[in-house]
Structures are given as structure tokens and as C-alpha cells.
Amino acid sequence: MNSWVELAWLVPVLPLASAVAIASFGKNLPGKGSEIGVLTLVAAFVVSIGIAWETFSAGTPEPFERAVDWSPLGGGFVFELGMLVDGLTAMMFLLVTTVSLMVHIYSREYMKGEPRFTYFYAMLSLFTFSMLVLVISNNTLQAVIGWELVGLCSYLLIGFYWEEKSNQDAANKAFLTTKFGDVGLVVGVIVLSAGMFGTGTSTPFNIQETNAAAMAGELSTGTIVLGMLLIFLGCVSKSGQMPLHVWLPDAMAGPTPVSALIHAATMVTAGIFLLARLFPVLAQSATVMAVIAIVGVITLFFGGLLALVQDDLKKVLAYSTVSQLGYMIAAIGVGGYTASIFHLFTHGFFKALLFLGAGSLIHAVHSNNMSDMGGMRRAMPHTFWTFIVGSLALAGFPLTAGFFSKDEILIAGDLWAGQGFATGSLVYWVGLAAAFVTTFYMARACFLIFAGENRSHHAPHESGPQMVGPLMLLAVLSIASGYLLSPFSSQEFNFENWTATPFVEDATYPFLDAGTAAGGDTVVAAASSLTLAAEGGEFSILHGVPTWHPDLLAIVLALFSIAVFLAWRFYGKGLPERDPTLQMGAFSRVLVAKYGFDDFGYRFVVVPVRDTFAKWASWSSNVVLDGIVASVGRGTKTAAMTTYRVLDQRVIDGGVNGAAFSAAWWSNRLKRIQSGDVQRYAGALVAGTIVLILAFAAAR
Amino acid sequence: MSLTGPLLLATFLFCVGVYGVIARRNAVLVLMSIELMLISVNINLVAFQNLLFPTEVAVSGHLFALFIVGVAAAEAGVGLAIIFNMFRNRASVNVDDVDLMRW
Amino acid sequence: MTGHDAVFLLVALFTGGAALLTVTSKNLFHAALFLAATLAGIAGVFLVLRADFLALVQLVVYVGAVAVLFLFGLMVTRAPIGREALDGQNRGLALAVSGTLFVVLSGLIIQSFGGVRAAEVTGPGIREIGIAIFAHWVLPFELLSMLLLAALIGAILLARRESGESGEESVERRIDFGDEPSTEAGAQALPAADTAGELPAGEPVAGGER
């Protein structure tokens, strides 16, 4: 073995092997198959660490690419099946295997006694495998395969408790909503590859080649804009961006460990990952970046607001995921490549922690609702402090991982604003506002759960070591992972250099003139302390190691304190009689109705598809025909009476009866064709073939 | 050697097979005629390969012929099993007795 | 017309004649034997065309296995031996259709390939075929093995006789694939079901105790 990187194919293959092994003989093992899952995930995790270490210590690592020709498709191009391992892949490997391993361990206790325990573990491993296929792929077609597998596994796992109709509906909703975006993704991939054909390559789906061609300006602007916007549509649905986020909260119907997996590592991150993979392509177009930034900003703010009015703890976390994904998407849209995937990385850890903590709480009180919890601090001390760590990280409290990554996004927005883009300042200010909202709803959740008196009907007790252990480890990671890219990290070995590819290092934004870098009215003070990483004033994609921003720190701390104070005022004494977030009139009503997206979807997508024709028919008969008949009918009544005998009895009845009689006559004749004699059918078939042959021969 | 000879022979065998499929009553004979149709195609494939593209590396014509032999063997096995079943249920293997799918 | 063509003509006449007799013979067993002769003739055509390996495969698989399988099939289905109305009422249709097809196709073939210059027949050796199978065609080859396995299992499943079944049965008998209890168990359960009429509804029928 020369290096770990060459073993990268093992990382997806191990979970696949695990899934197959569990499915085939897991039931007969003492641990019902869970031990296979855990052990193989440990192995995959070790390999991921090796790969991560090798790529991390290499500065900006050279991508390692290996591919086999899956099949010669003809027409001069090849469908590859391969792996592309660089820092980005290594980072995703590490994230996915860590979170998946934690979930595997955690579920041993959480899912104990489930009748479909083994099936659950097989699906869990398959889910991990699907995501890793997407991550490792060196071409977009393979990525689509992984993408679809992820969608399928999420469908199976969200509908895990399929006995209940609502869970089936949630699974269907998730599947159909993401499938809607997948259509965009597939078409986008085809558009990009069609553009790549123009460059004369034999592997038009290859990601590296696509990036290189886009940077060299070989792809036309139309190809890039259309292709990337369509691919972004896929990311919107998969990564829960508005307005296709509706499936994500419903996906809470699945078991809580699955939610952790979906929200932290395997599903919603797929869209961000794909955008990061193709970042050099989308950086060619200001339009694409603006669209991405705006969708992200809308999602990060309005998604966060929705979390305010939820009582279901998992739904609070779900909407917080929507909001945090909005941050990542917005960061992509304002050139914050590193910021986006860094937030993806840290968010993976603390969101997994929060979900697993929520699972621990739900396990203890047998209810998802925060109004049934309360006073958990004493009963579940370990869950308490790990959950608090996760909440702090999510709220971006200074020196937690969430703080460093979120600030990175805000500063990326600030720098973008410095280039004269309004979307940059939008991300900066809305991001700050949403951070306030985030802090508030997380503080609300924490107070409702942990403060006050126990409102549940059970005597809650701390979960066992297999559940608490992963919580503690993730809590440590939720703080430690932030220091990979912080003012403390070294200039050479940091997250940015790790995940940067040579393409990202060299790429610039062609739509940016070097001269426009000066305009800075909208730049807040923080920007002045920043220097552009690239020499010669060119605005590079990489921003360099961050420095301290005392002003931003002050704003963040102030917002944090205000939000926590407000939450304490409202919820510190336990569940208030009237929840203030529900007392804000129209605002609350809008939030509770989730902006009407679900309603909108039901009314304008489900209903028309289900009964377009019935609606149309009833409308036309009720409104149009009734109206016409009512007005015209009266006038023609007398005339109709006189012609009744002639027209109705003779012509119409005659016509109708005649039609019926002729139909009966003809069908009596024609039914004899259906003799049931196969040989006659065969003869007819050959006769038809002869006619076709003659037709084709004549056409030539 | 001219190409038309094998092609015409194959066509003749195929048409004889078609005749058998349509005209014969006994299901086993119908199956035999189907075999005849299948195998006649092989002559075409081999003739094209050896007379028109003798230097092709992949030897597609021969390989397709081989695959057809395999598929035809599978088809004969399953077909006979179906005929046995039909015989067991209806005590007859005449195809014109099996006309449940008529009006 | 070369000597090669002459040999081919002889083999072709033999094959075509045997094929014609296969579909016209009044005796079922003669038909099967003529089919074997046709298949052997086709193997001869392969030999003339310098496809030695295929000719061997043809002999082994078809003449050796499939023709014998058909003979077995005829015997097991108690085919009437001797002259009988083997043709249905579709003979006219069959003649018309196949005749037209032959005329159309041969016309097209002569029109398309009549101008192709006669060429020397060269065939690939077994070595080339082996390399091609395991280099270019591995995947289809493996698929074919899967297909044969599936056909094997399917044929067994279809043709398997459940215990207690006899050859002649009523038309209404449904096809039983083995998931249900066999007919023996069903036959035992039947008398119990008759007495069940006296039992209160919903009580399990315990045929053995009565």
C-alpha cells in the first residue's frame, strides 16, 4: 500500500458490503446485524481519517483520479466509473463516515426492540453508501446515480414506520419533491455535457475536465447559465431551499437517527457538495451566482423564522437545518466557497449532535413535543450539556465551531459586497438577522426542554452509554472542528488549503474587473481589516485564513445576549400560558401556515394533478354552461317546444339510437377478430410485418 | 462464394418456420417451428461475418450467433415446461383448444 | 459458380428439404426427426461458411440436446402416433403469409446484396472467438449464464408435478405454484370442511378430533 488515497474506493464499498451482509444474514447474528454495520463503518472511518490526514498535510492536494471505462457508449464518448479524491472529497468522507458511524452506534440502543431492526441497519448502510458514491464520483453521471440512490434510501427510511399513513405520505412527499428537482439536475448535467462535447473530449461528464473547460472559457455562457441553473434546481430540492423545502420538516416522520443522518451528512449536504464541486463552472456567471445567493438568503431568513412557532422539537431542528442550508447556499452565491463547505462541515457535527440529543430526549419522554418536556436538566445531565453545546454552536456563540464557520460566511458576503455586489451586503445583514432568530429559537427550545418542571407523563432517565457516547464525541467535534479555519489555525495547514483544489486556487471571476475592487460604500468596517488573498488585487476565490473582527464579534455577542435574554424572559420559568411566538397576530399565523407553501403545493400542484379534468368539467358545467343555458334557455324555450317533435324525436333520437345500433352491429362483427386463436394472431402479426417491410423498402 | 446463397437459405428457413407456427396444431410442433425461425437468423449472422467483415476483432457475428443458441435453448426449455403444464391442465396440446382469451 | 458454391448448394437443398418436411410431415415423430436433420444441415452450412466452432456448438446443443428434448416432449404429452389432422384450419393463412414474406424478403435481398462481389470465405479461429468472448463480451456472456439458470429454474417450477396430481384434471383447476398446501392436505381438509357447517362461525375447524 503506497498511500491511503489509493484505498479511497474502499470507503463507499465497505458500507455497501455491510448493507448486503446485513440484509443477507444479519438476522441470525447476536446483534441482529448492527455489529456488521458498526464494524464496517469503523473501517471506512479509519480509511477516511487516513485519506484526510494525507490530503490535509499536503497543503492544497493534487486531486487523485482513477477511473475505469464502464462501457463504450459509441459516438466517441466514454462513461467512466471512477473516483476523484481531493481535499473536498476527503472532508466529505470524514464528515459522512463520522456522522454515520455515530448514528450506527447510537441506533443500537435507540432502535432496540424494533421489529425491523435488521432492515433498518441495512438501509442505514445503504444510505451511507449512496452518499459516498456521490462524493467519490469523478463524473457528473456517476454523481447523478449516487444522488438518486440517496433519494431512494431517504424514501425508504423516512417511510420506515410505514404502518401509519402520514409517514407514507411524508416519504412520498420527500421523494416527489426531490424528484422534481432531480429532473432539473439530469437535464443540467446533459446540458453541461453537451457543451463539453464541443470541446472534443471523449469524457464529457468528467468533473475536472468540465471545470477546466469552464475556466478556459471553452463553454459558452448559455451552456453555463442554463446548465448550472438546472443543476441548482436539483440542489434546491435536495438541499431543502425555498420553495422546495417542504419535504424536509415532513421527513421527521422517520426515526430520529435517520433524521440526524439526513440533516447532517448524507442527504441535504448533497446539493451543497455538488455546487462546490462545480464551483469553477458557476463562478463564470454572475447571473448564476446572484440567483444562488438570493435563493439562499431567502431560505436562511424565512426558514429560520418558521422554527419559532414549532412545538415539535424535531421540527424546530428541521427548520434550523433549512435555515443553515440557506447560509451555505448563500455563501456559494457570494463567492464563499470555503465558507460554505466549512459551514457544511461544522454544521454536520452539531446538527447530528442536536438530532441525536433530541432522539435521546424523545426516547426518555416518548413525545416529540417540547411542551411535554421541561426540567430535563436534572434527569438527563449528559444529554443536557451536549445539547447545550450543540445549541451554542448552532447559534454561533463565539469560540464554537458554528461561530467560526458562520462568521466566515458573513465575511464572504462582506467581501463580495466590497466587489460591488448588492447580494453580498444582503447576505451579511440578513445573515446577522437570521443569527439572532437562530439564537432565539434555540434558546427557546433549550429553556422549554431543560428549565422548569417536568411536564411529561414519564419519569425520564438518562440514556445508555451507546447513546450518550456519540453525543459526547459529537459535542467535542462541534467545538473542535471550528479551529480548522479560525484565527488560531496555521497559514499553511488549514481547512481552506485542505479543501481547495488547484482549480479553485487558480480560478477567478471573469465577470469581475480587477478595477472594481475599490468601491466599498456598503462595506462594513470589518472589511477594512481584510486583505485580499490573491496578489495583484485580483479577487480570488480563496480568502485566506480569517483574522479577528472585533466589530463583528461585538455585534454577534450583543445579538446573542439579547436573544437569550428575550428567550429567558418568555420561557425561563417553564412553558408560558400563551406562547409569545404564537401571539404576534398575522405574523404568527403566516408562520404557522408555513407561508402557505404546503397549502399552495396542495392547492396548485396536488389538486390539479389529481383532478384537473373533474375541476375543469365541473367549472365549465357550473359556470359556463349554466350561465349560457340560463340566459339562452329561456329565450329558446318556446322555439324548442315547437321543434321538439321534429328535432328531438326524429333527428336526435334517431341519430343517437342509430349510433348505438351501428356500434352494436359493428362490435358484433368485430369481436370475431378476437377468436382466441393464437395462430391467427401470429399470422396477422407477420402480415403486418410484411406491410411494414414494404413501407420501409418503398421509403428508401 | 456469393453472399446471396446463405441469405436466401436463411429466408427460406425463416418462412418455413412462419408457416409451421401458423399452420401446425400441436404445440410441440409450433415450438419446433419457432426454433427453426430462431436458428435461421444465425446463418445470416455468420454469413455477414465471414463474407463481409472477416477481420473484425470482436467477432460480433459469431458471438451473436452463440448467444442466440443459448437463448434458444432457454426458450425451448421454458416453452416445453409451459406445454407440459398445459397438457396437465387440459389434457391436450393443441393450440386451437386453448382459446380462453377469446370474446 | 465455384466448387464452394456447389457444396453450399447441396447442403442448402438438404437443409431446406428437411425443413419443409418438418412442417409438413403428417407424423409427429418424423417431424421431430426431420427437425434434427434440419439442424444438422444448418451445422453443415456453418461448416461450409467456415464457422467450425459454431457448427460444433450447433451439433452439440441442437442436434444433441434440443432435438432430444423435443422428442421427450412429444412422448410425455402422449402425442398421437400416426396420421392425424396435424394442421389446423389456418393452413391457407399460413401459406399466404409465409409465401408473401419469402417473396418480399428474397426480392429485397437480391436487390440489396445481389451486387456484392463473391468473396473468399475466411472465418475466425476458435482462439479468436475465445478471446472475443472473454474480452469484449464478458458481461453479455455472464448475463447469458444467468438467463440459462433462470430458464432452468423456471422450467422446473413450471413443469413440476405436485404430489397427488394426475395427468387429466378438470379445466377449472387453478395452477398451483407450491405456496399453498398441496392437494393431499387439501383433500384431507375437505371432509372436515363439510362438518364445519354445524360449528358456530369463527371457531377453528379441528378435523382430526371429530
Q: What b/e readout covers C27-47, taking b as 16+ CB neighbours within 10 angstroms?
A: bbeebbbbbbbbbbbbbbbbb
Strand partners, A573: none
- Supply the pLDDT for residue B17: 93
* Average pLDDT value for residue range C158-168: 61
Max Cα separation, chain C? 90
- The residue that leads in pLDDT, A240 or A327, is A327
Work out the percent of chain A whose per-residue pLDDT is above 70: 83
C95 touches chain A (CB under 8 A): no
List, as ranges, residues 37-96 from B with C-beta within 8 Å of C: 39-40, 42-43, 46-47, 49-52, 54, 57-59, 62-63, 65-67, 69-78, 80-85, 87-91, 93-96
- Supply the pLDDT for residue C91: 84
User: Is pLDDT of A646 > 90?
Assistant: no
Residues of A in contact with B37 (CB under 8 A): none
> CB pairs below 8 Å between A and C: how many?
28
Which residue in chain C is spatially nearest to A695 when comparing CA positions? C104
Q: Three-state DSSP class for B24?
A: strand
What pLDDT, in 10s, does the model give residues B21-79?
A: 988 888 888 999 999 999 999 999 999 888 888 888 778 888 999 999 999 989 998 99
Which residue in chain A is spatially nearest to C138 when comparing CA positions? A71
- Cβ distance B85 to C28 less than 8 Å, yes or no, reads no
Nearest to B89 among C90, C137, C175 (CB): C175
Nearest to B99 among A675, A682, A686 (CB): A675
Residue position matching grid coordinates 461458411: C49
Q: What are phi and psi of A437, to 5 degrees?
A: -60, -45
Side chain identity at residue A238, one-letter code: K
- Supply the pLDDT for residue A575: 63
Q: pLDDT confidence of A607, banded at 50, 70, 90?
A: low
**Lowest-pLDDT range of A443-447, A453-457, A500-504, A536-540:** A536-540
CA dihedral C98, C100, C106, C108 (to 10 degrees): -130
Kindly provide the ipTM of the predicted complex, given to two decimals: 0.90
- Supply the pLDDT for residue A624: 67
What's the pTM?
Answer: 0.60
Consecutive H or E run containing A446: helix A422-450
CB C28 within 8 A of CB C74: yes
- Supply the pLDDT for residue A585: 64
- B partners (3+ CB pairs within 8 A) are A, C
- Cβ distance B102 to A676 less than 8 Å, yes or no, reads yes
- Supply the pLDDT for residue C171: 46
* Average pLDDT value for residue range C62-74: 85
CA A318, CA A264: separation in Å to the nearest integer?
Answer: 11
CA dihedral A623, A626, A632, A638 (to 10 degrees): 180
List, as ranges, residues 86-105 from A with C-beta within 8 Å of C: none
User: Is pLDDT of A527 > 70?
Assistant: no
CA A89, CA A65: separation in Å to the nearest integer?
Answer: 11
- Supply the pLDDT for residue A522: 34
CB A273 within 8 A of CB A234: no
Taking the domains of chain B in order of start, what are their residue ranges?
A: 4-101
- Cβ distance A687 to C97 less than 8 Å, yes or no, reads yes
> CB pairs below 8 Å between B and C: how many?
275
- The residue that leads in pLDDT, A587 or A286, is A286
Residues of C in contact with A689 (CB under 8 A): 101
- Cβ distance C28 to B3 less than 8 Å, yes or no, reads no
CA C130, CA C143: separation in Å to the nearest integer?
Answer: 17
- Supply the pLDDT for residue B94: 81
Contacts of A597 (CB under 8 A, 6+ apart): A242, A243, A245, A246
Consecutive H or E run containing A476: helix A465-480
C-alpha grid cell for residue C29? 415423430
User: Is pLDDT of A252 > 90?
Assistant: no
Q: Three-state DSSP class for A393?
A: helix
Q: Which CATH architecture has domain B4-101?
A: Orthogonal Bundle (1.10)
CA A307, CA A318: separation in Å to the nearest integer?
Answer: 8
Contacts of A281 (CB under 8 A, 6+ apart): A192, A210, A211, A214, A219, A224, A227, A228
Contacts of A268 (CB under 8 A, 6+ apart): A238, A239, A240, A248, A262, A321, A325
Q: At what angle do helices A140-158 and A207-215 cross, to 10 degrees?
A: 120
* Average pLDDT value for residue range A588-592: 69
Strand partners, A68: A81
Neighbours of A616 (CB within 10 A): 11
Q: What are phi and psi of A648, to 5 degrees?
A: -70, -55
User: Is pLDDT of A697 > 90?
Assistant: no
Work out the percent of chain A whose per-residue pLDDT is above 90: 0
* Average pLDDT value for residue range C73-100: 76
* Average pLDDT value for residue range A653-663: 79
- Cβ distance C54 to B75 less than 8 Å, yes or no, reads no
* Average pLDDT value for residue range A437-453: 81
Contacts of A493 (CB under 8 A, 6+ apart): A56, A57, A59
Nearest to A679 among B95, B100, B102 (CB): B95
- Supply the pLDDT for residue A180: 82
C-alpha grid cell for residue B88? 396437465
Q: How far is CA A700 from CA A696, C108, C112, in A?
A: 6, 12, 12
What pLDDT, in 10s, does the model give residues A385-399?
A: 888 888 888 888 888
* Average pLDDT value for residue range A206-217: 82
